[in-house]
Amino acid sequence: MWSNRGRMLRALAAAIACGCAAAGGPFAFAEAVRDGAAGVTGIDEPSAIAITPDGAQLYVAGSGANAVAIFARDAETGALRPAGVVRDHARGIDGLDQPGDIAVSPDGANVYVAGFDDDALAVFARDPRDGKLRFLSVMRDRFGGVRGLGGAVSVVVSPDGRAVYVAGRQDDSIAVFARDAKSGRLRFVEHKREKGFGPTSLAIAPDGRHLYVAGFDASALAVFTRDPATLQIRRTGIVRDADHPTHALTNATSVAVSPDGAFVVAAAYGEDALELFARDADTGELRRLATAHAGVDAPARMHKPLGVAFAPSGREVYAASAEPGALSAFDVSEGGLRRLSVHLDEGGDAVAEACAVAVSPDGAHVYVAGYRQSAIALFRRGL
């Protein structure tokens, strides 16, 4: 059911029925790359997007292709050019069955891919010259003492590059790995299980002190404090939708932390809403600031949000919504969610069933994964 964000969309519909430009500017659709066109392959049913720290490459998890596609990125225009693809079971590669998320290490040396149906995390070395990937290893649930990777759906690397955290949707767990800085290889440390939580998304604060977890089943955000010495985590807080009528966390699907660590934003799939929190840097505690509901204080067609991302400035939040598909932007600079712009799917658009969003390191470009059209849409900011 949770093999990727696209399948998540359909399954959830049945169950409950992806540097810094001037702040605040609008965005405009520029172009799209589509699977099977102009040499593009490997992005069938895309579920996640990751951009390298230097902005040179963009990686796409193709859940329908059991692959990761590599794109060279034009820094000036944001345009994408296909630069390769790695596939499950090709040339010894393993762990890419239904990839659900991608993370690039802060030093740009490694790429980590969560494979939902493989209950695994695939580890790659990245060539900094062209972004090509070389398979190193796979960490698989219940092999070699590893636990907590059942239904691996989200992955993050700590800002210091010393640890990798993975959400195991089916295991209700967060798996913790120590990362070797030279090779990028991983060593299992522990897993923390939160029964009934249903983790779907991870975000780590830029100071590395706290890990935030969106729980679909619990309709909640959990706060974990990290031990910098052992890399282990301990749950120190939780915000539940049921805590207060003002909360909008029903079926939380995605979470992001602002680059300055001041804000946390969550997407509520079951409530067609975003919720913004202030973050206490010492304790990690969250305090609700604002909520934006579709048709009230957000675009009317911001239905079923699946992905959220901050601009590098920390002043804007972007949300990818699945039904029928939209990209929405909000200004959070004053502690609220002030609507800025929206791009709506109008039929065969590249943002149909939008499920993931990423912003380039310079803040000039926004990329959206359109699951239905097997496409990545490019938007330019500040136009």
Q: What is the pLDDT along the chain (383 residues), one digit of tens a residue?
A: 334 444 443 333 333 334 233 334 578 999 999 999 999 999 999 999 999 999 999 999 999 999 999 999 999 999 999 999 999 999 999 999 999 999 999 999 999 999 999 999 999 999 999 999 999 999 999 999 999 999 999 999 999 999 999 999 999 999 999 999 999 999 999 999 999 999 999 999 999 999 999 999 999 999 999 999 999 999 999 999 999 999 999 999 999 999 999 999 999 999 999 999 999 999 999 999 999 999 998 988 899 999 999 999 999 999 999 998 999 999 999 999 999 999 988 766 799 999 999 999 999 999 999 999 999 999 998 75
Which tokens is 6 given? 């696209």
What contacts 280, CB < 8 A, 6 or more positions away?
286, 287
Q: What is the pTM of this model?
A: 0.94
The partner residues of 177 in beta bridges, in order of sequence, read: 164, 188
Q: Give the residue extent of every domain in the chain.
A: 5-381
Burial of 197 (0-12, 13-18, 19+ CB in 10 A): buried
Q: Contacts by 269-273 with C-beta closer than 8 Å and gap 24+?
A: 269/12, 269/216, 269/304, 269/305, 269/306, 270/12, 270/16, 270/219, 271/241, 272/298, 272/302, 272/303, 272/304, 272/305, 273/248, 273/298, 273/305
Question: Alpha carbon of 91 to those of 95, 109, 124, 135, 320: distances in Å?
Answer: 13, 20, 13, 9, 34
- In the sheet with 120-126, reading across from the earlier edge strand, the strands are 99-104, 110-115, 120-126, 133-140
CATH number of 5-381: 2.130.10.10
